[in-house]
Structure 1
Amino acid sequence: MQLDLTGLNAVVTGASKGIGYTTALTFAREGARVTLVARNADTLAEAAARIAEETGTTPDTIGADLATSAGVEQLAMQSGPLDILVNNAGAIPPGDLQAIDEKTWRMGWDLKVFGYINLTRALAPRIAERNGVIINVIGAGAESLSPDYICGAVGNAALVAFTRAYAKQFRAMGGRIVGLNPGPVATERMQLFLKARAADEFGDEGRAAELTASLPYARPASPQEIANAVAFLASPRSAYTNGTVLSIHGGG
């Protein structure tokens, strides 16, 4: 299936690694013009170089801290006409209510929850002008509502509500907004987490793979599996999809 992404302008946040990087690479393979956004300039440059090596097209990069108003304004000023925005930046720490103090909670939400909302506010008009789409990569924590991931669960649930609440207004403007709730994904961050947990539980970080045995299909999703879904939802092939939040967690 041709996704008809050739020539479209896509901005992907949190694009230096993991789901964001793989999504940006997938867009580039499909012929889109991609802008990578992340806070760390070094990892951002490395990601752009890898994409250029594989696809023959060098993506633009914007180093910006989207947890701040200044970072959002910077991205809005430096990005031009836009067809696709993928909100993906953010890493909310695990922990129960007593473990996550107010400062940590606010820091997590500043980047992910308010970062998504503020960037949508800033860029939605120009996306709608081109009948474009916003994809919010949220997380299955919005559904599982684990007390041991309370900051992320509540933040993700808020972003699910935001995606659905904004959909009718954005449709009237000419755009689409869609959410995606991945379950566990085999990113570098997850691997580090599993190694630390294996070292704690088994005394051997080399047994990290044993911790995925209880997952659906006994494995996490690959970043490419999530990126494939993002690319389809962002494409004209999915032009009637709006206000939907798709879960990709293997069924459980």
Structure 2
Amino acid sequence: MDLKLRGRRALVTGASKGIGAAVAEALAAEGSHLHLAARSGEALEALARKLREAHGVEVTVHVVDLRETADLERLAEATADADILVNNAGDIPAGTLDQVGPDRWRHAWDLKVFGYVDLTRLVYARLREQGRGVIVNVIGAGGERPKPEYIAGGAGNAALMAFTRALGAEGPGDGVRVVGVNPGPVATERITTMRAANDDVDASFAALPSRRVAEPDEVADLVAFLASARADYISGTIVTIDGGLSAAS
């Protein structure tokens, strides 16, 4: 299936590893030119070289801290040619209300919740002006089934789900689609850390309905489809990709 992404330009945040890097790979494979943003310049440059060589696309690297207003504004200005935004940066810590103190909670939300909102605000205004664009928010299935041991993440994800639905309902009138993706457990660095700390983790994954966690490229393929012209009638929708976990809960 041709996703009709060739020649499009996309900004992907949190692109240095995990789902973000996989999204960059998927879009590049479809012929999209890329802006990659994260705090790790070395990792971004390595990925950019790989994508240029493998797919012949243009890739620009932006080393930014999306918690900082000046960095957000600079990024939005430097990526004015992009008509696709994939908000993906963020890593909210696990823990109960007693375990996640106010400073950690705010620090995490400044990146994932307010980072998404503030960058979207800047990019959406430009997309609305040009009458065309797509915003894909990679959120997290924890917002659908909040648990006390992941209270900051569940609450943050639920907020971003509401944000996505609200803006996605308005967006088509401006020519801008806004959609969300809710991954369940994905084989990223966090899973590797969990495995190192707990020998029982793989047994718990085997008990999932799918008997495994997702691979980053499975999430990335969904993001690429939703960003594409093949999904032009989809807005305000959040697609869960968790191997049936939410349905089984």
TM beyond 0.5: yes
The equivalent of 1:220 in structure 2 is 213
How far off is 1:194 after superposition? Answer: 2.3
Q: Give the TM-score taking structure 2 as reference length.
A: 0.94
Worse-matched range after superposition: 107-116 or 118-127: 118-127
- The correspondence of residues 192-231 of structure 1 with structure 2, limited to 5 A, is 192-198=193-199, 208-231=201-224
The equivalent of 1:161 in structure 2 is 162
In the alignment, residue 140 of structure 2 is paired with which amino acid? G
Post-superposition CA distance 1:139-181 (Å, at most 9, x none): 0000120110000000000000001111233222210000110
Quick check: 2:136–2:223 contact (8 Å CA) kept in 1?
A: yes
The equivalent of 2:52 in structure 1 is 52
Distance 1:48 1:193 in 2: 28
CA RMSD of aligned residues (A): 1.3
Worse-matched range after superposition: 173-182 or 72-81: 72-81
The equivalent of 2:177 in structure 1 is 176
How far off is 1:130 after superposition? Answer: 4.7
Gaps of 5+ in 2: none
Quick check: 2:94–2:150 contact (8 Å CA) kept in 1?
A: yes
The equivalent of 2:120 in structure 1 is 120
Quick check: 1:82–1:126 contact (8 Å CA) kept in 2?
A: no
Quick check: 2:91–2:108 contact (8 Å CA) kept in 1?
A: yes
SS of residue matched to 1:95: coil
Quick check: 2:133–2:177 contact (8 Å CA) kept in 1?
A: yes
Post-superposition CA distance 1:77-133 (Å, at most 9, x none): 211222100000000000000000000000010000000000000001222325110
SS of residue matched to 1:220: coil
Quick check: 2:5–2:228 contact (8 Å CA) kept in 1?
A: yes
- The correspondence of residues 58-77 of structure 1 with structure 2, limited to 5 A, is 58-77=58-77
Distance 1:96 1:194 in 2: 21
How far off is 1:50 after superposition? Answer: 2.2
Distance 1:38 1:216 in 2: 33
- Structure 1 residue 243 corresponds to structure 2 residue 244: no
The equivalent of 2:25 in structure 1 is 25
Q: Give the TM-score taking structure 1 as reference length.
A: 0.93
Distance 1:136 1:224 in 2: 16
In the alignment, residue 123 of structure 2 is paired with which amino acid? L
Distance 2:160 2:34 in 1: 24
Worse-matched range after superposition: 151-160 or 125-134: 125-134
- Aligned-pair identity in percent equals 48
In the alignment, residue 244 of structure 1 is paired with which amino acid? T
Distance 1:32 1:139 in 2: 25
Distance 1:195 1:211 in 2: 14
Worse-matched range after superposition: 14-23 or 160-169: 160-169
Q: In the comparison of the two structures, how many residue pairs are matched?
A: 244
How far off is 1:67 after superposition? Answer: 1.2
Quick check: 2:131–2:174 contact (8 Å CA) kept in 1?
A: no
The equivalent of 1:204 in structure 2 is none
Distance 1:58 1:76 in 2: 18
Gaps of 5+ in 1: 202-207
